[in-house]
Amino acid sequence: MSENNERYQKRLRRFVTALNNRKPDRIPIRPFAAEFTGVHAGYTCQELTQNYSDAFEAMIQCCKDYDWDAVPANMIYVWPGITDAASIRYYGVPGVNVPPDCGFQYIEPPEDQSFMRADEYDRLIADPTAFLYEVWLPRATRRIAQAGAPNTFRSDVALVSSAMAMVQYFNAYGPHSVRMKNEAETPGSLCGIFKAPLDILGDKLRGYIGLTMDLFEQPVKVMKACEALMPHLHWLASQTADPASQVPIGYWMHRGCVPFVGPEHFNTIYWPTVRPIIEQLWKEGHQTMFYAEGNWDAHLEAFRELPERSIVYHIDRGDPQTVHNKLHDKFAISGGLSNVTLAFGTPGQVRSEVKKLIDILGKEGGYIMDASAIMQNDIKVANMKAMVEATREFGIYENPDEPLDELAVRPTGNFKPYDTLPSATGRPAGVCVSWQEHLQDINCEKVQGCPELAERVWKMVDANGATYIWQMLLSF
Task: Encode pLDDT of 103-134 as tens digits.
Answer: 989 999 999 999 999 999 999 999 999 999 99
Report cis status (omega within 30 of 0) of the bond before 259. Answer: yes
Provide the residue type at 279 as one letter: E
The pLDDT value recorded for residue 415 is: 74
Q: Is the dihedral of CA 383, 29, 239, 20 positive or negative?
A: negative
The pLDDT value recorded for residue 141 is: 97
Instruction: Please work out, in degrees rounded to the nearest 5, the angle formed at the alpha carbon of residue 476 by the alpha carbons of 155 and 270.
Output: 120
Q: At residue 224, what are phi and psi to the nearest 5 degrees?
A: -65, -35
Given a cut of 70, the residues of the chain with pLDDT beneath it are 1-4
CB atoms within 10 A of CB 175: 10
CB atoms within 10 A of CB 296: 23
Q: Which helix (H) or strand (E) holds 20?
A: none
In contact, 288 and 247? CB cutoff 8 Å? no
The pLDDT value recorded for residue 148 is: 87
Average pLDDT over all residues of the chain: 96
**Does residue 355 sit in helix, strand or coil?**
helix
Pairing of strands 249-253, 193-194: parallel
The pLDDT value recorded for residue 4 is: 62
- What predicted TM-score, i.e. pTM, was given to this entire model? 0.96
Burial code of 38-51, b = ≥16 C-beta within 10 A, e = fewer?
bbbbebbbbbbbbe
Contacts of 4 (CB under 8 A, 6+ apart): 182, 185
The pLDDT value recorded for residue 333 is: 98
State how far the Cα of 476 lies from the Cα of 474, in Å rounded to an integer. 6
The pLDDT value recorded for residue 2 is: 61
CATH architecture of 3-474: Alpha-Beta Barrel (3.20)
Tell me the H-state helices in 366-450. Answer: 381-394, 435-441
CA dihedral 358, 361, 365, 368 (to 10 degrees): -80
The pLDDT value recorded for residue 151 is: 87
Tell me the H-state helices in 20-146. Answer: 36-41, 45-50, 52-65, 80-85, 121-126, 128-131, 137-140
**Does residue 419 sit in helix, strand or coil?**
coil
Q: At residue 312, what are phi and psi to the nearest 5 degrees?
A: -120, 130
List own/partner pairs for 417-420 with CB under 8 A and 24 or more apart. Answer: 417/276, 417/279, 417/280, 417/282, 417/283, 418/275, 418/276, 418/279, 418/305, 419/272, 419/275, 419/276, 419/279, 420/276
Give the CA distances from residue 339 to residues 10, 62, 228, 290, in Å, rounded to whole numbers and listed in that order: 28, 18, 37, 18
Contacts of 336 (CB under 8 A, 6+ apart): 315, 318, 320, 323, 357, 361, 370, 372
Give the CA distances from residue 152 to residues 134, 135, 157, 159, 383, in Å, rounded to whole numbers and listed in that order: 15, 17, 9, 11, 52
What burial class does residue 160 get, using C-beta atoms within 10 Å of its C-beta: 0-12 exposed, 13-18 middle, 19+ buried? exposed
